[in-house]
Amino acid sequence: MKTVSVHIVTYNSEAYIEECLEAVLRQTYPIAQIIVVDNASSDGTRAILEKFRGKVETILNHSNTGFAPAHNLAIHTSSSHYYLVLNPDIQLHEEYVAYLVGVMERFPVVGSATGKLLRSQDQGTVDSTGLIMNCARRAFDRGAEEPASDWNESSEVFGVSGAAALYKREMVEDISIEGEFFDADFFAYKEDVDVAWRAQLLGWKAYYESKAIAIHERGWKSGNRKQQPVFVRRLSYINRYKMMLKNDRISYVFRHLFSIVPYEILSLGYALVKEPMLLPAWIDFWRKLPAVLAKRRWIKLNQKENNSNIYRWFG
């Protein structure tokens, strides 16, 4: 039987982590290892983790290293065949892992899979059934805010949300750049979309299994944008451009200019008028430009899939 490890990164997650871990422990598929990386929580998260001593391996960071570096650390700690990357505000139904492992064993080319994530506030409403990308290079949760009953058909997808994603170790090793699966320069936000795009370029597929169900709390992310900390909005804003520079192809940028240019004009105008605090994020972009370009060269050198098969997902 293929082994599965569950990886959770916490940061002031006391409201969710206990129920999250209890749901993991109820899985019908055996879980070989549960790793929680705590990014210097200042609430009661670590006290709750202590209750699971002997069942959960904890890595206690002295600072908030971010989602991407913390998950990379968990990956390096595990040797399982599959890694379930899980947000602490997710509650899995008991057969979530079993369904996803089943589909990935049936299709060797599938390197990532997700189930039907439902909104906790209304479990008849979809939170995510995967990731979609439009021609303006904006990524969205597939099926978000739509009735769950409309998404009962399992299918291949562009990518999967990092909220509850099962990744195959072979794919993780194949697409990692200098040992990094999630791009540590992203810190957090858009790192799952970046992985999805890179995986497509290197010939791996993603799959949505409708029978696998999970509940997602989301918290402030589903509310007013103004509730989000400034550094979060900056990351979400600038990481899109890092992702595009790493993975996009010039010929397809020109093909999609009529979608890209209007959005960029609106985005810049919005930032200048409504959220000028976003603009300092460009300092980080230019500072990290050499590293981003080096990753682009690596991806282009290792690309296996035809561009036409990738950009068919951009609608």
- The domain spanning residue 227 has which CATH number? 3.90.550.10
Are the CB atoms for 161 and 194 separated by under 8 Å?
Answer: no
At 186-201, the pLDDT tens digits run 988 899 999 999 999 9
How many domains would you assign to the chain? 1
Whole-angstrom distance, CA of residue 241 vs CA of residue 279: 13
Per residue of the chain (315 residues), what is the pLDDT tens digit?
Answer: 999 999 999 999 999 999 999 999 999 999 999 999 999 999 999 999 999 999 999 999 999 999 999 999 999 999 999 999 999 999 999 999 999 999 999 999 999 999 999 999 999 999 999 999 999 999 999 999 999 999 999 999 999 999 999 999 999 999 999 999 999 999 888 999 999 999 999 999 999 999 999 999 976 554 455 667 888 889 889 999 999 999 999 999 999 999 999 999 999 999 999 999 999 999 999 999 999 999 999 999 999 999 999 999 999
What local confidence, expressed as pLDDT, does residue 180 receive? Answer: 97
What local confidence, expressed as pLDDT, does residue 224 receive? Answer: 55
Q: What is the DSSP string of 42-57?
A: -SSHHHHHHTTBTTBE
What local confidence, expressed as pLDDT, does residue 187 receive? Answer: 87
Q: What is the DSSP string of 126-170?
A: EEESSEEE-TTS-EEETTTTSBGGG----EEESB--TTEEEEEHH
What local confidence, expressed as pLDDT, does residue 222 receive? Answer: 47
> Containing domain of residue 99, as a range?
1-315
What local confidence, expressed as pLDDT, does residue 282 receive? Answer: 96
Assigned token pair, 264: 């960029």
At 237-261, the pLDDT tens digits run 999 999 999 999 999 999 999 999 9
The pTM for the full model equals: 0.95
Whole-angstrom distance, CA of residue 198 vs CA of residue 207: 15
Whole-angstrom distance, CA of residue 118 vs CA of residue 141: 11
